[in-house]
Amino acid sequence: MILEMKDRPMITIHCLAYSRAIRLVWLMEDMHAPYKLVQYRRTDQFRAPAALQKIHPLGKSPVIEDKDLKIAESATCLRYLADKFGDETHRPTPGTLQHVHHEELLDYVESSFAEVSMGLLLPGFSGEEPSDAAFAAMRTHLEYVAQNLQPSGLLFGDTAFLADIQFSYLLANLDAMGFLDDAPRIKTYWHDLQQQPGYQAAVIAAGPMAPDLTAKTA
């Protein structure tokens, strides 16, 4: 993890354990860009601590700071960081149809896929069985994601783009609870994402995206 380089700007990432913020660490590690990582533990109720409300009024994670600027939404953070460091390796070429499609998928993750995912994850974390409607909605969305994947590899090839990184957090949690077991293409996609060097570096720096649930079931 590169923490300081005098000739490049320093970004601060406020990272709650087991949170979306780990996606930003992945991108920074991929870009070999300098950053300061401020980590927060979850409460016994698995919630964000009060300390995060001092950083952002909504107590959200991630939050990035760049001098006087604070940004909290994941997709905006990813785009900002890629633009900040002049990165051209995590998005298709601007002006192409692939670029438009990539931007759509990047926004889709939190605008649509997250809502459906939480329909399974929230009951699962509480030890409850999700509704049949929640399972049906997830099947529809997993089929849609599969349709956007290459026959093998990631969304746009073998290298993770911003949209791939954005998908990772929800896929990590869905897989941890067994909700990808009936979606082999998506499960393979998640496996391939975990082989990316940036993902592996992010987990070393900030911890896993999903908690280990085996202890709860053992």
Query: So what's the pLDDT on residue 9?
Result: 57
Asked whether residue 213 is domain-assigned, the answer is no
Residues 54, 101, single domain; the answer is no
Q: Is the pLDDT of residue 7 over 60?
A: no
Residue span of the structural domain in which 168 resides: 97-196
Does the pLDDT of residue 33 top 80, yes or no?
Answer: yes
**Tokens of residue 128, six digits:** 């409850």
Looking at the structure, tell me whether residues 106 and 65 fall in a common domain.
no
| CATH (domain of 118) | 1.20.1050.10
pLDDT of residue 8: 53
106 and 177 co-located in one domain: yes
Helix (H, G, I), strand (E, B) or coil at 40: strand
How many structural domains does the chain have?
A: 2
Count of CA atoms in the C-beta half-sphere (13 A) of 55: 24
Q: What percent of the chain has pLDDT over 90?
A: 86
pLDDT band at 218; cut points 50, 70, 90: very low
Which residues are CB-contacts of 130 (< 8 A; sequence separation ≥ 6)? Answer: 119, 120, 123, 124
Average pLDDT (83-104) is 97
The mean pLDDT of the chain is 92
* pLDDT one-digit tens code per residue, 58-82: 998 999 999 999 999 999 999 999 9
Given pLDDT bands bounded at 50, 70 and 90, which one contains residue 4? Answer: very low
Q: Is residue 214 part of a domain?
A: no
Note whether residue 5 is domain-resident.
no
Q: What is the pTM of this model?
A: 0.92
Q: Is the pLDDT of residue 208 over 60?
A: yes
To the nearest whole percent, how much of the chain has pLDDT over 70? 94
Task: Tell me the per-residue pLDDT of 102-158, one tens digit each, with 9 for 90 and over.
Answer: 999 999 999 999 999 999 999 988 889 999 999 999 999 999 999 999 899 999 999
Q: Are residues 169 and 132 in the same domain?
A: yes
- Does the residue 2 lie in any domain? no
Same domain for 123 and 33?
no
Which residue from 21, 8, 162 is spatially nearest to 79, judged by alpha carbons?
162
212 lies in a domain? no
